Each structure stands twice: as C-alpha cells, then as structure tokens.
C-alpha cells in the first residue's frame, strides 16, 4: 500500500464525447438489456439514436442508470418510482444551484 501512496496514479479523463452502446451500458451496470430498455421506455434514460442497435448512452446516463438501480435495490421502489425519484432529485439539484447564489454552503 505504501507503494500506491508514493507514486501518483494518472487516470484517463472520461471524455463526455465517449458514448456507450446498450451492451456496454448493461455490462457496466451488471444488468440485462431488458432493464435498460425499460428505463428508456420510462423516460429515465434518453440515449441518442433511434434503434436499439444505434442507441448511444453518455457517461451521465450511465451514472443515472446506476442510480436508478441502487434506488430500486435499496429502497424497494419500482421502475416508475425510481424514475420519479431521479426527476425530483434533478429538480432539487437545479434549485440548489440557484440557492447557492445566496448561500454557498447549502
């Protein structure tokens, strides 16, 4: 462990332009494609591209899919509930950003 501490690790900055296919997204989240398709149908994820084959997900979408997954697993909400929670959390984040103008520590 001391070794790890001595040298600084340089990682690759994940480029926002990098996108994932449906298969890559599934592998990264450890879920079946059906689950991701349902999230898209629910409107919780919005990939670029029209057909399943063409679907491309940004890294932001990947983080979103993982979040939905954790909410479902930990809080026993269903897909629609997780999608609603994601939207409300987005809204809270937007409001917090505006509030920060008056209170940087909120």
Q: Is 34 in the site for other proteins (CB under 8 A)?
A: no
**Contacts (Cβ under 8 Å, ≥6 apart) of 21:** 55, 56, 57
Task: Specify the residue for token string 């040298």.
Answer: 7
Smallest gap from Cβ 24 to other proteins, in A, equals 11
Which is nearest to 29 in space by CA: 45, 51, 17, 48? 45
b/e burial code for range 76-105 (CB count within 10 A of at least 16 → b):
eeebeebbebbeeeeeeeeeeeeeeeeeee
Which of 13, 51 has the CB closer to other proteins? 13
> Scanning residues 37 to 96, which ones bind other proteins (CB under 8 A)?
59-60, 63, 66-67, 70-71, 73-75, 85, 89
Q: Which is nearer to other proteins, 53 or 104 (CB)?
A: 104
Q: Which residues bind other proteins (CB under 8 A)?
A: 1, 4-14, 16, 28, 30, 59-60, 63, 66-67, 70-71, 73-75, 85, 89, 97, 100-101, 104-105
């Amino acid at each position: 462990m001391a070794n790890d501490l001595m040298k600084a690790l340089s990682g690759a900055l994940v480029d926002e332009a990098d996108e994932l296919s449906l298969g890559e997204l599934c592998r990264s989240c450890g879920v079946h494609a059906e689950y991701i398709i349902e999230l898209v149908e629910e409107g919780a994820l919005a990939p670029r591209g029209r057909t399943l084959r063409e679907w491309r997900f940004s890294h932001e979408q990947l983080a979103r899919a993982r979040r939905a997954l954790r909410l479902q697993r930990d809080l026993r909400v269903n897909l629609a509930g997780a999608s609603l929670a994601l939207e409300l959390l987005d809204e809270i984040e937007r409001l917090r950003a505006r509030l920060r103008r008056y209170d940087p520590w909120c």
